[in-house]
C-alpha cells in the first residue's frame, strides 16, 4: 500500500540541521504515526513521503518555506513584566499563548529577560532552518472514519 491522503502512516526518523546536529529522533522509541494529507507533519516531508511504501528509506532536505517558515523578526517583541500577571516567576524558555498579529492565538517563547523587559518570540524554534530527515516507512494502513473526521490518528486509548 502506498502513502496517500487518508492513510495512517508510521515512520522512524532522525531530524538534523545544516550543521548535522540531531534535533529529534524516534530511535529507541515508538515510530511517529500521523494522518497523511491532514497537515499533521511539515509540508515538505509529507510531499516527499507521498507514494512511498513500507520498507522505503529516504533522506529529504526541507527548505524553511516547506517546514516551519522563514524567521520573522516582527514576531519578536519586548513586553513589560506586568503583562505576565499571575505568573510568579518568569524564565527564559517558558511558553505562553498570546494574540498574534492576525488576531489568532499563537505560542510565544521567552527569549530574554532584562529587569522589567521580557523579550518574547512568536517564531517556531525551527523557523528559518533547512531541515534534513532520514526516514524509514514502517507501516501504512487505511485510516479509520473517526481518524479522518478528527484529522489525526488515534493512539491506544484515544476515543475522542
- Give domain limits for the chain: 7-68+126-150, 73-121
Give the integer Cα–Cα distance in Å for 94 and 87. Answer: 11
pLDDT in tens, 20-35: 999 999 999 999 999 9
Asked if 92 and 110 count as a contact pair (C-beta separation under 8 A), the reply is yes
Taking the CA of residue 125 as centre, how many other CA atoms within 13 Å lie in the half-sphere pointing to its CB? 9
Residue 130's pLDDT is what?
Answer: 98
Residue 51 CB contacts under 8 Å (≥ 6 apart), including other chains: 2, 3, 4
CATH number of 73-121: 2.40.10.330
**Interatomic CA distance for residues 99 and 46, integer angstroms:** 29
Segment 135-147 mean pLDDT? 97
Check whether 158 has a pLDDT greater than 80. Answer: no
- Give residue 98's pLDDT: 84
pTM of the model: 0.83
CATH number of 7-68+126-150: 3.10.50.40
Mean pLDDT of 85-89: 90
Amino acid at each position: 500500500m502506498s502513502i496517500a491522503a487518508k492513510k495512517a502512516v508510521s515512520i522512524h526518523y532522525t531530524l538534523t540541521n545544516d550543521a548535522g546536529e540531531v534535533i529529534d529522533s524516534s530511535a529507541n522509541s515508538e515510530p511517529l504515526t500521523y494522518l497523511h494529507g491532514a497537515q499533521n507533519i511539515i509540508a515538505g516531508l509529507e510531499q516527499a513521503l507521498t507514494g512511498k511504501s513500507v520498507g522505503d528509506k529516504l533522506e529529504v532536505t526541507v527548505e524553511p518555506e516547506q517546514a516551519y517558515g522563514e524567521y520573522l523578526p516582527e514576531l519578536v517583541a519586548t513586553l513589560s513584566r506586568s503583562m505576565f500577571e499571575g505568573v510568579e516567576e518568569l524564565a527564559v524558555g517558558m511558553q505562553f499563548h498570546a494574540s498574534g498579529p492576525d488576531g489568532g492565538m499563537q505560542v510565544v517563547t521567552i527569549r530574554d529577560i532584562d529587569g522589567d523587559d521580557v523579550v518574547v518570540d512568536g517564531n517556531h524554534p525551527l523557523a528559518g532552518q533547512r531541515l534534513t530527515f532520514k526516514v524509514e516507512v514502517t507501516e501504512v494502513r487505511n485510516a479509520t472514519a473517526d481518524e479522518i473526521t478528527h484529522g489525526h490518528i488515534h493512539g491506544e486509548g484515544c476515543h475522542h
